[in-house]
């Protein structure tokens, strides 16, 4: 079994793709720990495995229906910052479930749950405006990916827990329950979006 901070993105194609996406009725996505790294699998019998996504779930039907609502904004931000649109949609789904006015108990705001200090540093004057919020979140994700040499699992961990926490724990996903659940959840939803058939083009 592979270990290390890059295990999550490398396992997505091998585990999520053939085992879960193409299975008729997958049991679900399970997360387990191996040598301090998080491992996604469809195997519930792995030591310490916990159910992350139940088979057939797709971040909930309400979130799935909301995906096209901000598609043009997401696509534009993704293109400007060289990110997959599926990544931004997965983060939005995990952070706010597509609620533009969402505010967390810690004060994070909007679709991508930008903290006030982060929004100010990114030059986001109206964090509840969907276009500005998504632009700021995309810019921040691009910065984190560059900071962590393209390691998506570490960038997502930093998005959730802060980059200082990732550095403090030896450039590994910090051992926080919320972060340990957040990273594979976003990656699993991203993989489902990438595997989903493209929506049919509408007639002009």
Phi, psi angle pair for 38, to nearest 5°: -90, 140
Give me the catalytic one of 95, 135, 147, 178.
95
Alpha helices in 81-121 (DSSP H): 85-96, 116-121
Q: Cα separation of 204 and 200, whole Å?
A: 12
DSSP 114: B
- Structure tokens that stand for 122 in this block: 């990114």
- Structure tokens that stand for 94 in this block: 């995990």
Q: How far is CA 72 from CA 29, 85, 128, 131, in A?
A: 29, 10, 17, 10
Catalytic site residue 33? no
Q: Cα separation of 175 and 194, whole Å?
A: 28
Angle, CA of 169, 175 and 180, to the nearest 5°: 125
- The closest alpha carbon to 18, from 36, 1, 42, belongs to 42
Q: Which are the catalytic amino acids?
A: 95
């Amino acid at each position: 079994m592979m270990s290390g901070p890059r295990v999550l993105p490398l396992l997505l194609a091998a585990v999520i793709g053939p085992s879960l996406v193409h299975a008729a009725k997958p049991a679900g996505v399970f997360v387990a720990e191996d040598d301090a790294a998080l491992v996604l699998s469809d195997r519930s019998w792995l030591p310490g495995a916990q159910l992350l996504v139940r088979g057939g779930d797709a971040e909930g039907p309400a979130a799935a229906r909301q995906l096209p609502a901000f598609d043009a904004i997401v696509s534009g931000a993704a293109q400007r910052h060289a990110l997959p649109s599926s990544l931004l949609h997965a983060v939005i789904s995990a952070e706010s479930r597509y609620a533009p006015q969402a505010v967390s108990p810690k004060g994070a705001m909007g679709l991508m749950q930008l903290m006030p200090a982060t929004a100010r540093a990114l030059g986001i004057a109206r964090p509840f405006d969907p276009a500005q919020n998504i632009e700021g979140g995309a810019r921040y994700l691009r910065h984190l990916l560059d900071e962590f040499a393209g390691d998506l699992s570490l960038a997502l961990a930093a998005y959730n827990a802060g980059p200082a926490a990732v550095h403090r724990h030896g450039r590994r996903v910090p051992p926080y329950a919320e972060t340990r659940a957040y990273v594979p959840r976003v990656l699993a939803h991203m993989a489902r979006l990438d595997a989903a058939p493209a929506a049919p083009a509408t007639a002009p």
